[in-house]
Amino acid sequence: METSFYKMHGLGNDFVVMDERRGRLDLTPARIAALSDRFRGIGCDQFVLLRPACREGADVFVRFFNADGSESGACGNASRCVASLIGREAGITAPVLQTRAGLLGTEIGDDGMITVDMGPPALGWRDIPLSHEVDTLRLPLWGEPAAASMGNPHATVFLSPDDMTDPRQRGPLLEHDPLFPERANIGFAQVRSAREMRLRVWERGAGLTLACGSGACAAVVNGVRRGLLDRTCRVEMDGGALSVTWRETDGHVLMSGPAVLSFTGLVALDTYPR
């Protein structure tokens, strides 16, 4: 039997989306990792599962998995993609997504750009989480990153504009540092002005991606906390730019950008290891 899937991306951060709203599929972390493999599977940075919502006001429950099969509480780029799928399916412009990190409001603009309310960041060491109490604005690690959770753990290293650090060298070491008991996504940011920054993210469980929505939100929050950025900032990544605002009135972080359906397909799940 074949199972249908959507292949989508947000600024080149790509996803396989499967729908479990009409019945559970036989998916395990090992099978998700096999399907995410770019050489032996469909290939993606993250794997997204849709389930029936169980909270009042939500249109769909969304689970996010990394290419290595590990689960994450948040994925900004995939949230925009799911909002566009649900919006099209239900004929609505403001689908509400239920995630492990809470309910996310979204808005689909006339220009096709999608805004996700990623909620407020968590900045306490226990909430990020870190293994012990340290100053979350300057972690005692290489590059003195600032840490924040956007429903998933992030650390942002602020580099000078001419710094040539390769995220593929420093990223894996920081991702696995014992200070991060659940590992962490590591952003490498270069501030160009108070309203613009360049960002590359070494993602937990996926490696270097073309863009990371929650990483862009965490980088803006950390840049504002460090006194480097205004609360609204354009974040340019290898795959394109997102606009991020850390709203003063309620502390929520709003992220806007595109969502693209690349193709749909069919796959025989039982040919993949369980």
Ligand X SMILES: N[C@@H](CCC[C@H](N)C(=O)O)C(=O)O
Binding residue positions for substrate: 13, 46, 66, 76-77, 152, 185, 203-204, 213-214
**75 included as an active-site residue:** yes
Q: How far is CA 220 from CA 4, 52, 80, 107, 173, in A?
A: 37, 32, 18, 21, 23
Peptide bond into 129 cis (omega under 30): yes
If one asks whether residue 13 binds ligand X (CB under 6 A), the answer comes out as yes
If one asks whether residue 152 binds ligand X (CB under 6 A), the answer comes out as yes
**Judged by CB, which is closer to ligand X: 158, or 180?**
180
| In the complex, least distance from residue 6 CB atom to ligand X, rounded to whole angstroms | 16
**233 included as an active-site residue:** no
* Binding residue count for ligand X, defined by CB under 6 A: 19
> What is d(CA 274, CA 265) in angstroms, rounded to the nearest whole number?
20
Q: Which bin fits 146, alpha (ψ -120 to 50), beta or left (φ > 0)?
A: beta
Residue among 44, 54, 81, 212 flagged as catalytic? 212
Residue among 75, 81, 217, 233 flagged as catalytic? 75
Stretch that binds ligand X, among 75-83, 88-96, 140-148, 257-265 (CB under 6 A): 75-83
> What is d(CA 208, CA 13) in angstroms, rounded to the nearest whole number?
10
Closest CA to 150 of 116, 188, 114, 190: 116
SS3 187: strand
Stretch that binds ligand X, among 98-106, 141-149, 162-170, 201-209 (CB under 6 A): 201-209
Q: Which residues are catalytic?
A: 75, 212
Q: Which residues of this chain interact with ligand X, rule CB under 6 A?
A: 13, 46, 64, 66, 72, 75-77, 152, 185, 203-206, 209, 212-215
